[in-house]
Amino acid sequence: MSIVGPRPERQYYIDQIVKENPKYVELYQIRPGLTSYATLYNGYTDNMEKMLKRLNLDLYYMVHQSFWGDMKIIAETVKIIFFGGN
């Protein structure tokens, strides 16, 4: 596990997501993280629509990940922890 990366998901939900969008398995190429781009910009996922949006954000992160991008995600996470969300 790393600090920044796609949040891990339970197998029950992975099976449902893969039925809707098989690209989920591409996320196995990178380590899961404690915080993620998708968590910052999609929030908590409690339905399939949000899970699929989170998947698209995680796939975007996977293609565009960088050291400075990770630093921004960490800074935004710290800001939300101490000062609250949107």
- DSSP assignments along 45-66, one per residue: --SHHHHHHHHHHHHHHHHH--
pLDDT in tens, 18-56: 999 999 999 999 999 999 999 998 888 888 999 999 999
What is the per-residue pLDDT for 46? Answer: 85
Contact between 70 and 3 under an 8 Å Cβ cutoff? The reply is yes
The contacts of residue 29 (CB under 8 Å, 6+ apart) are 62
Q: Which residue has the higher pLDDT, 28 or 84?
A: 28
What is the per-residue pLDDT for 45? Answer: 85
For the record, the structure tokens of 55 come out as: 């998947």
Residue 3 pLDDT exceeds 70: yes
Alpha-carbon distance of 84 to 62, in angstroms, equals 26
What is the per-residue pLDDT for 86? Answer: 59
Contact between 38 and 7 under an 8 Å Cβ cutoff? The reply is yes
Q: Which residue has the higher pLDDT, 79 or 44?
A: 79
